Each structure stands twice: as structure tokens, then as C-alpha cells.
Amino acid sequence: MTTRTVIQAAIVPMVAVLIFAAQVYRQYAYDLTVWKGGGMGMFASIDGPSTRLIKVFLIAPDGTLRPIATLPTDLKQRADRAVVEPAESNLRSLASAVNQRHWVLTGMDEVPPPPGIPGEGSGVVSSPRIGPAARSSPLSPIAFTGTRIEFIKIGFDITSFAITAERALVFELDR
């Protein structure tokens, strides 16, 4: 074999190893889902976009949290990116965009608590429905001092065979 043939034969495995190393690094360094760019282990893991949640809250002046049930399309795209890669830059981008909006109370919803998170209580609770204010809205904007974003991962405990939920990350940004 010539030196050129050996080099050509080594290029493909070297590139494959580099891609593997980059994906493993991103999966652990940025908590990137294995289904979206993490790549390695995607068929051996339930971790994916369908088992990750982003909850967005407005922080009221008295410190209480007011959940935003449905995000407008442009904010939903930012939230989807944060679900896939919950890096601080993605969470900050979403929180900053929420802080720049005016929000109004649009009604009341009955909201069940997320499954398996300690301290969330049980049963359905009434929660104010908050939505973006339209330009000509007669409703008064809600006063808030910042935004809180919670990143929640749904998992499976193989010892108890139970579905679990873990508040994996909390990010707050003052207005």
C-alpha cells in the first residue's frame, strides 16, 4: 500500500471519530437531546423533545409566579430551541423576548400540576390565563418584574417502573 492509500483509508474513520466526539461533548456540555444533534444513543434513551418541557412564568411584583399557558408563535420557536438545547443563551433569548412584551389576563384555566415534581401538590387548580396584549387591547397589561423559565425533563425510574419529572434547570431574568 502506498502512503496516499493509507492516508485516504484513514480519513473516513478519523472524521467519524471527530463527529462522534463532538456529539458526545455537545450532549453532555449543553444537555443537548440525543434525538436532536446529540446523536449517539438515540434509540437507547427516552430523552427527546417529547420528554422535555419549558414552563414560562411572569414574576409578579410580590414574587408570585404567573404561568403563561400558550406562547405566541415567535416565542414558541424560541422555547422549542430551548427544549432541544437548554443552554443559557437560549433561555436568556426566550426570557428577554417575554420581558419585552406586554401581557394581559385573558381568562381562567384549570391546570393540572406536572407529574412527579415534589412540592407541586395534587389535583387541578385554577390558574389565570395570560396572553400577549394586542395593540388595541382594552385590557390593562399585567405588572411583572421578570421572567422565570423552568426546564423539566420527564424520565423513567427502572427500579420503581414509574414516570418521573425533574426540574432540571431554572432560569430567571429581571425585566
- Residue 163's contacts (CB-CB under 8 Å, 6 or more residues apart) are 115, 116, 154, 155, 156, 157
pLDDT in tens, 8-31: 788 888 888 887 787 777 767 776
Going from N- to C-terminal start, the domains of the chain cover: 3-30, 49-174
Q: C-alpha cell of 46?
A: 427516552
- What percent of the chain clears pLDDT 70, i.e. is strictly above it? 73
pLDDT in tens, 42-53: 555 666 667 888
